[in-house]
Amino acid sequence: MVLLSQLWLPVLVSAIVVFLASFLAWMVLPHHKKDIKTLPNEKALTDHLRSLALPAGTYMWPGCQPGQGMDSQEFKDRYAAGPWGSINVLASRPNFGRNLVLTFLFYIVVSVFVGYLSSLARPAGAAFLPVFRVAGAAGVLAYCAGSIPNAIFFGKPGRFVLTDLVDGIVYGLLTGATFALLWPGA
């Protein structure tokens, strides 16, 4: 049996590898370049949003809280006419340093769970492929599955979902390979 404490190196290295892969995916490689569009008249929209003084939160339109008029003809007309959308209003400017640290911590948490599952499924000294299969599958699941319900309900474009899933598969396979290469006793 492999103890989770024996997996500190693959946990840390896999988090670093995924962090670097994420940087490459978003900053160097071209596949995300078309995922986020620029508004045609950003100034008009941002001026209007600023005038509304919206508190931080996620907003959808046409808006109607469940049980509060969704059956009304007025709501049905707004819904039929469109447009439909959602926005996230942040409480303050994004802090990229903080966001990078939190993202790296998320990768560590994923790697801890991948390590935990792998330690239950594979003994010390297991060969590369059996460890890779378990750790890779757990990694792909962790990096892919959670984004799908949000994509469905918040209407993310199919291309954005696809590129996110491709990234998640790559991150999961990199995690699996890292664990398989650094598996105790291998």
Look at residues 90, 112, 141 and tell me which one is the last residue of a structural domain. 90
Amino acid at 122: R
Q: What is the domain extent for residue 74?
A: 57-90
What confidence tens digit (pLDDT) does each residue in 75-127 have? 888 889 988 888 888 888 999 999 999 999 999 999 999 999 999 999 999 99
Please compute the mean of the pLDDT values over residues 161-171 and round it to a whole number: 94
Identify which has the larger pLDDT, 6 or 160.
Answer: 6
The string of pLDDT tens digits covering residues 10-67 is 999 999 999 999 999 988 988 888 888 888 999 998 999 999 999 999 888 888 777 6
Same domain, 111 and 67: no
Q: Quick check: 173 and 4 in contact, CB under 8 A?
A: no
Three-class secondary structure of residue 88 per DSSP: strand
With CA atoms as reference, report the closest residue to 18 among 177, 182, 171. Answer: 171
Is residue 69 predicted with pLDDT exceeding 90?
Answer: no
Same domain, yes or no: 103 and 21: yes
pTM comes to 0.85
103 with 147, same domain: the answer is yes
Please report whether residue 52 resides in a domain: no
- Shared domain for 35 and 16, answered yes or no, is yes
Give SS3 for 161.
helix
Same domain membership, residue 156 and residue 110: yes
61 with 144, same domain: the answer is no
Say if CB 174 and CB 21 are below 8 A apart: yes
pLDDT at residue 150, as a whole number: 83
Both ends of the chain: CA-CA distance in Å? 13
Q: Residues 6 or more apart from 40 whose CB is under 8 A from it?
A: none
Is residue 124 included in any domain, yes or no? yes
Assigned domain for 132 exists: yes
Last residue of a domain, one of 37, 65, 90: 90
Task: Let me know whether 111 and 85 are in one domain.
Answer: no
| Total structural domains within the chain | 2
